Amino acid sequence: MSTRYKIHQNLISIGDDFWIEDHEGRKVYKVDGKILRIRKTLVFEDAKGKKLCQIKERLLTIKDTMVIEDPDGRDLAVLKKALITPFRDKWDVNVKGGPDLDVQGDILDHEYSIKQGWNKIAEVSKKWFRLTDTYGVEIDPGQNDILILAIAVAIDMMAHDDDDKKDKKKKKDK
């Protein structure tokens, strides 16, 4: 049976801390936004404060890139936004020591899937919740829940960072 988590999207911003809840509403993972760094960094912790992984923005890259690291700073996965996406958003996830993942769908509306080859291993959706600022992540059994949740949070952060850049450009052009 798959596991479902709940994330409040309006809380995902650098400098903010937020909780990821399980399907019963228990706070299971804390995400700590670090603001004292040049690059964006989010630290995933369990409910007791033990560091599980961290998400860092990779600076000086052509494409938007985020890195998910283990607690010791070793790369677990590298996320890159695909350059050409005519109909759907697409992200490539290079998983160190494991099969790569593809993320496709409507990222801004939180309706997308995470696939390993042709197999869907996780789904992100708002349709499970009445609250407009909340979305769920449903993960198939046998997957690395922390890695999948970190991918979802990193993509959310990168997608909304793109929105912020577009908004600033529109204001500047006026």
For each of the chain's 174 residues, which pLDDT tens digit applies?
889 999 876 545 555 788 899 989 999 999 987 665 556 788 999 999 999 999 988 776 666 789 999 999 999 999 998 766 666 788 899 999 999 999 998 877 888 999 999 999 999 998 877 666 788 999 999 999 999 999 999 888 887 765 444 444 444 455
49: left (phi over 0), alpha (psi -120 to 50) or beta: left
pLDDT the model gives residue 172: 47
CA distance 57 to 41: 7
pLDDT the model gives residue 142: 94
Give the C-alpha distances (Å, rounded to integers) separating 135 from 10, 21, 87: 10, 11, 22
CA distance 158 to 19: 19
Instruction: Quote the distance between the C-alpha of residue 112 and its chain's center.
Output: 12
pLDDT the model gives residue 106: 86
